[in-house]
Structure 1
Amino acid sequence: MKSLLRSSLSTLLMLFAAPVLAQPDAGTVGTSVIIGTVIDSSTKKPVADVVVTATSPAMQGEQTVVTDTQGNYRIPQLPPGVYTLRFEKESFKPYARPEIQLLRNRTIRVNVELLPDSFSHSVEVIGAPPTIDVGSTNMGVNIDEEFIKRIAVARPAGKGGARSYESLAELSRGTGGYVVDGRSTSESVSTTASGTSDRQRAPAWALPYMHIVVPDAPFSVSVEGFPSPARKGYQVVHIGVKAREVSRAQRKPSHLVFVIDVSGSMDMENRLGLVKQSLRLLVDALDERDRVSIVVYGSEARQVLAPTNATRKQELLAAIDSLHSEGSTNAQAGIEMGYALAASQLVEGGINRIILCSDGVANNGITQADGIWDRVKAQAATGITLSTVGFGMGNYNDVLMERLSQVGEGNYAYVDKLDEARRIFVQNLTGTLQVVAKDVKIQVEFDRKTVSRYRLIGYENRLLTKQQFADDTVDAGEVGAGHAVTALYEVKLRAPSQTSFGTLRIRYKAPQGGKSQLIEKAMPSVLLRPAYEQAAAPTRLSYVAAAFAEKLRGSYWARPLTYDALVSLWEELGAPMKARPDVVELGTLIRSARTLDRRADRFESFAPVRTMDADRVPTIK
């Protein structure tokens, strides 16, 4: 993810803001401009209403504009740095132009030709899907008026409002009872948060998910759909990927090198204080198979703890308690020292992991030009992977954190309270550390005869071309044991189909690498339920969380969905799902937002909700 919706729901909903690689000083901000023209590659005519988004580790947040009737765009007031531009419009393939070097006091032109959409959509799966864990009991954070202001950043909603949440929901570990291969059933099994099963009579329409099971595959896939409550004429399609579990006893031995930001910006209880509390939890979860090292960085990097067996808990706790804030933020020095320490104590056949704990702010020692990405990637190839854990609100940003974990073949998470740390470092420790599949890519190809339009909700920063999907040299994300990822689409059907509405493909490699394997499966139209309440509870929960996120962001597509309607959808989740603490928290957050959100609808003056076009976003002048 990436900008704007910063951790409203903790594990319920983790939405990403764009962090800072190097904070520019006051004299360099807003001095450069990117301009350009977007044309249709087939007709060579300009394309209006293309959403153009600029992101860079050199700035907070993102800049978004829309092309005019001549296909022109202009993005002003940019600090110098390396940028990625994304170009998105329905009926065209999304396109990203990375590695754009913008110098101080310069105007550069980036012209783009967009390809008409072939109705094929590929995304890479990220390491640790950090949003809704519908099997957890974690709580979120409070929504207040300041939170509403932070996420209410005006941005054209041409992408459907919801930024890149990476995964909108994690599937429940215990909700697989109603997943039956290709067969309907008169009974379904639902699983409570405690893991016990309740067998209940299901009506005739309650067909199961499509549950893809492939011999020796490290995960299964589920698909289900229902009419969109917010967008008339559209279906919500829910696609879930669930990795196989690995028991605690089967987990590989590990050497964990914690690289901890102790700069001035971390000197808060919900930052460095929370890091120390989190590490204390981890110490209790490790055993004789594990070793821990600690490196800290402020202005410089230094070793706090040499590789130490996890059974020597008093030494570990003493090192953790000694951490204190110091200096500026030389992230690169800390990462380099962490890798050197990991390489000196490599666990053959085990887990060798750098875990970077930071607020994502790096104002010294790390830039794109430093080649840090190449070094991180090279270390991952030797078996030393990198995970990142973000801490803190306010100026917290995570472009750097997410990008490092992606290149480092690890995973990314955000911790805003101790309950979330307990989920990552204790409850899901095996999944956090042990990878069961790498370079996981998902491709959905809709049948043009059946589907006229579609929208992917989230994942915009993980888009791949059809060629990249098939190319084994293109890196993608890793999936840990027990992890699950959910993607949501909105699709508009031309007419009911008696066969399928599209094809789902998944490509992945074994944890040790090698040639990728392909799973391919048609998505039969029978998976599209006639009503929201007839979808399985995890599918409904994923939608409620995603719709809430879009509502908070002021998405054009979510406008018809009032907070009262969201509360009603939450009420329809049913027992035992609705009784779980994390789902109770979601309901509380929705009601809090209903009370606090007093923003005006920025579209109402020229596109009233009652007459809004469900197919097209109006241009914001």
Structure 2
Amino acid sequence: MKKISAALLILFALVAFNPISQRTITGTVTSASDGSPIPGVSVILKGTKLSTSTDQNGKYTLGISSKGGVLVFSFIGYKTVEVPIGDHLIMDVKLEDDVTELQETIVTGYSQKRNVKTRAEKSIAKDYLKSEVAEAEYLYAPQIHQPNTEEYATISENGFHDVRKDPLSTFSIDVDKASYSNVRRFLNYGQRPPVDAVRIEELVNYFSYDYKQPVDEHPFAIHTEVSEAPWNKKHKLIHIGIQGREIPTDDLPPSNLVFLIDVSGSMDEPEKLPLVKQSFKMLVDKLRPQDHVAIVVYAGAAGKVLEPTPGNEKKKIISALDQLQAGGSTAGGEGLRLAYELAQQNYREKGNNRVIIATDGDFNVGESSNEEMEKLITEKRKDGIFLTVLGYGMGNYKDSKMEILADKGNGNYAYIDNISEARKTLVHEFGGTLFTIAKDVKLQLEFNPSKVKAYRLIGYENRLLKNEDFNNDKKDAGELGSGHTVTALYEVIPSGVKSEFFDVDDLKYQNNNTEAIRTYTNELFTIKFRYKKSDKEVSRLITHSLVDNQTPLFQTSDNFRWAASVAAFAMLLRESAYVNNFSFDEVTALAQGAKGKDEEGYRAEFINLTKSLGLISKR
């Protein structure tokens, strides 16, 4: 009895003096106008750093430390709502449309003024609750950055090419997705993104597509489709989809990873180093005993924080991450060299050897120029060590440098603006982000002049190749990861169609009525793919042709219509000359009819963005 009493007293003391008495609030957030669930809504306990966001079904779960308090619900395009908690454990909320506060910044363009607090201002991760109220997240509210010194490479939009003069179009695939999450960050802040921040192909490729898996010896399958262009009924839209073979995690080769983490002074902000650490913790949780991780950091100088450690020693790896602090200048070049040296020392034959760099791209000491970085990365990729680039932060973000690092390092590039994006990149897309199944993947299309008058590639402006580069195995191109999908779109003007976007007189001395053209008159184009296996240096060739069966837009696949809606959205943000008065409302309608499977809610989030911009454009 005395033992029981003593135990009860101890339990009473723990409860009485424990400052955190947890309870869990759950609920669903829907639109007051149509009752549809709203994913991505920020839910924050007012006056604290306790916060979460709604999932694809509009549902949320939040652990709080006491009774009482007020929950604040906010999302772009909706009125912010504050609801007293009282003794409630279930709190369902309806949000009403409201875009008046966002109108000025969205319509007038890229601005440093922020008139409204949005989800992005509250979506920067600190740490998960280390209690049984799992899944709830502590989130910081980021600081306002003045002045803005972000850098983006200039993009000149692809125009139409005359098939008679230039029948070939050649480019490299691109699996980067950074532009979409970066654009979303701007919009969530109530700002229109700079036009050069909008890379159309990265917005299109942010989403997964329901392509069939390959069934032959090649590591990817090819899918093509053609119909009318939604924004110009006189034009055709060609859809090219590539599906990488999905390799089960247990069958993936062992990994030799080096985390290269920027701990310079510019990373000393809540949405940078704290979010970096949490991101890598999620990746560590996915690692297997056969995988190894080392950690290198750089600030005023570079240093090794963790020797190569097996993936099942997770506490040791996480402890090393927890000890990281920011301060000093940015010796990025020195950090890259040390990381590559460490990866080379622990090289795994037939394994996944990769450096993963996390930074805001603000290199200002050492090898800081884009040209020097490009040379360093190009040299090291020849050793079979690939590179993944994870970008963080805002205000001084250097997108142009980040993109170069990934392109030249046989790797990929993602922008991490919140913990959900980190989970998408490093957990849900784990295989595609880290495991390359095909490298130097190039495409070359030859258009049939009896069917096509002119064509333009939508996006991929910085992935264009010379036609002679297609057969040159020394020319670097893009990489494809396990399970990755890649989508490319061409807008074409059919032969005999007059278009305001392409008006060229007939040629006097050219004659396209050859026997060869008449023989293949039903083919719209022939597409050729070249790729190398991840451990080979000689390319393989695949050839595929497409016949236009005059399929109406409404009969096309969800893949076709979804990609078209995202491309139109991106063209509107880029103020494209070719979007032809297409509206955000029309983007929304097209996307809603092609939503398809959306288990993670990424497509629903996109639709909500288009709805908000549609409402704003009417004001």
**TM-score range, shorter-chain basis?**
0.5 to 0.7
Q: Give the structure, 1 or 2, with the largest relative contact order (CA under 8 Å, sep 6 or more).
A: 1
Whole-Å separation in 2 of the counterparts to 1:371 and 1:249 = 38
Q: Superposition pairs for residues 103-142 of structure 1, below 5 Å?
A: 117-128=165-176, 141=185
TM-score by length of 2: 0.67
> Which residue of 2 is the match for residue 529 of structure 1?
551
Instruction: Tell me the equivalent position of 1:158.
Output: none
CA shift at 1:152, angstroms? 5.8
Counterpart for residue 152 of structure 2: 61
What displacement does 1:146 show? 3.8
1:542 to 563, 572, 582: 563
**Paired residue type of 1:515:** V
* Aligned equivalents of 1:370, 1:233: Cα separation in 2: 43
Q: Is the 8 A contact 2:168 2:467 kept in 1?
A: yes
1:17-58 superposed Cα distances (whole Å, 9 cap, x missing partner):
xxxxxxxxxxxxxxxxxxxxxxxxxxxxxxxxxxxxxxxxx9
Residue 536 of structure 2 corresponds to residue 513 of structure 1: yes
CA contact (8 A) 2:174 2:460 kept: no
1:73-122 per-residue CA deviation (whole Å, 9 max, x = no partner) reads: xxxxxxxxxxxxx79653379xxxxxxxxxxxxxxxxxxxxxx8412111
Distance change >3 Å, CA 578–CA 422, structure 1 → 2: closer
Task: Tell me which amino acid in the other structure corresponds to 1:509.
Answer: K
List per-residue Cα deviations over 1:521-563 (Å, max 9, x = no partner): 111112x522x22110121111111111111222222241112
**Alignment partner of 1:591 is 2:592:** no
**1:225/1:238 contact within 8 Å kept:** yes
Q: Secondary structure at the match of 2:232?
A: coil
Q: Is the 8 A contact 1:128 1:478 kept in 2?
A: no
- 1:313-462 map, 5 Å: 313-368=314-369, 371-462=372-463
Match status 1:147 vs 2:163: no
Would the aligned equivalents of 1:330 and 1:366 in 2 still touch at CA under 8 Å?
Answer: yes
- CA pair 340-295 structure 1, distance change in 2 beyond 3 A: same
Work out whether residues 267 and 273 of structure 2, in 8 Å CA contact, stay in contact via their aligned partners in 1.
yes
What is the distance in 2 between the residues matched to 1:586 and 1:369? Answer: 33
Q: Which residue of 2 aligns with 1:169?
A: 205
Secondary structure of the equivalent of 1:489?
strand
Distance change (3 Å), C-alpha of 1:92 and 1:523: closer
Q: CA deviation at 1:435?
A: 1.1
Aligned runs of 1:159-238 on 2, under 5 Å? 163=199, 165-166=201-202, 168-169=204-205, 172=208, 175-176=210-211, 215-238=216-239
Amino-acid identity (%): 34
* 1:166 Cα deviation after fit: 4.5
Structure-2 change in CA distance of 1:579 and 1:415 (3 Å) = closer
Which of 468, 486, 501 is residue 524 of structure 2 equivalent to? 501
SS of 1:233 mapped into structure 2: strand
Report 1:534-573 matches (<5 A).
534-573=555-594
Distance 1:543 1:517, change over 3 A: same
The 3-state SS of whatever aligns with 1:147 is coil
Query: Is 2:311 the partner of 1:277?
Result: no
- Of stretches 343-352 and 316-325 in structure 1, the one that deviates more from structure 2 is 343-352
In the alignment, the residues of structure 2 paired with residue 341 and residue 396 of structure 1 have an alpha-carbon distance, to the nearest angstrom, of 27
Deviations 1:191-222 (A, max 9, x none): xxxxxxxxxxxxxxxxxxxx9x6731110011
- The CA deviation string for residues 458-478 of structure 1, in whole angstroms up to 9 with x for no partner, is 101010111001111111111
Distance 2:263 2:371 in 1: 22
- 2:198 and 2:313 mapped to 1: Cα distance? 46
Residue 617 of structure 1 corresponds to which residue in structure 2? none
**Which amino acid in the other structure matches residue 165 of structure 1?**
E
- Structure 1 residues without counterparts, runs of 5 or longer: 1-11, 13-57, 65-85, 94-115, 134-138, 154-160, 180-210, 600-621
Q: CA deviation at 1:280?
A: 0.9
Distance 1:559 1:361, change over 3 A: farther
Distance 1:291 1:462 in 2: 33
The offset of 1:313, in angstroms, is: 1.4
Amino acid aligned to 1:571: Q
More helix by percentage: 2
- C-alpha contact 1:142 1:589 (8 A) present in aligned 2: no
Quote the residue 1:90 is aligned against: 160
Aligned residues of 1:132 and 1:542 also touching (Cα < 8 A) = no
TM-score norm. by structure 1 comes to 0.67
- The aligned amino acid for 1:529 is T
Over 3 Å counting, the alpha-carbon distance change for 1:117 and 1:359 in structure 2 is farther
Q: Would the alpha carbon gap of residues 131 and 553 (structure 1) be closer, same or farther in structure 2, given more than 3 Å must change?
A: closer
Deviation at 1:377, TM superposition (A): 2.3
How far the C-alpha of 1:394 sits from its partner, in A, is 2.8
Equivalent residues of 2:256, 2:347 under 8 A apart:
yes
SS at match of 1:217: coil
Alignment CA distance shift 1:358-1:130 (3 Å)? closer
Would you say the 8 A contact 1:387–1:411 is kept in 2?
A: yes
Q: Describe the shift of the 1:162–1:231 C-alpha distance in structure 2 as closer, same or farther (beyond 3 A).
A: farther
- Alpha carbons 1:171, 1:242 under 8 Å: kept: no
Cα distance, 1:59 vs. partner? 8.7
- Unaligned segments of structure 2, at least 5 residues: 1-55, 57-148, 498-519
How far apart, in 2, do the equivalents of 1:361 and 1:344 lie?
Answer: 28
* Rounded Cα–Cα distance in structure 1 between residues aligned with 2:468 and 2:168: 11
Equivalent-residue separation in structure 2 for 1:337 and 1:132 (angstroms): 31
For the Cα contact (< 8 Å) 2:456–2:492, is it kept in 1?
yes
Deviation at 1:498, TM superposition (A): 6.3
Deviation, 1:170, is 5.7
Q: CA deviation at 1:378?
A: 2.6
Report the alpha carbon displacement of residue 438 of structure 1 after superposing the two structures with TM: 0.8
Amino acid at match of 2:428: Q
Considering only aligned residues, what root-mean-square deviation do their CA atoms show, in Å?
A: 3.0
The whole-number CA distance in structure 2 between the counterparts of 1:260 and 1:353 is 14
**Structure 1 559/360 Cα, relative in aligned 2: closer, same or farther at 3 Å?**
farther
The amino acid across from 2:529 in the alignment is: I
* Structure 1 pair 216–579 and aligned structure 2 pair: CA distance change class (3 A): closer
Post-superposition offset of 1:163: 4.0
CA pair 88-498 structure 1, distance change in 2 beyond 3 A: closer
For 1:365 and 1:221, locate their aligned partners in 2 and report how far apart those are by CA, in whole Å.
43
Which amino acid in structure 1 is aligned with residue 462 of structure 2? N
Structure 1 CA distance for aligned equivalents of residues 352 and 594 of structure 2: 39
Rounded Cα–Cα distance in structure 2 between residues aligned with 1:130 and 1:268: 20
For residues 474 and 88 of structure 1, do their structure 2 counterparts lie closer, same or farther at Cα, with a shift above 3 Å needed? same
Q: Is the 8 A contact 2:450 2:521 kept in 1?
A: no
Amino acid in the other structure paired with 2:161: S
C-alpha distance 164-293 of structure 1, shift in aligned 2 (>3 A): same
Aligned equivalents of 1:539 and 1:524: distance in 2?
Answer: 16
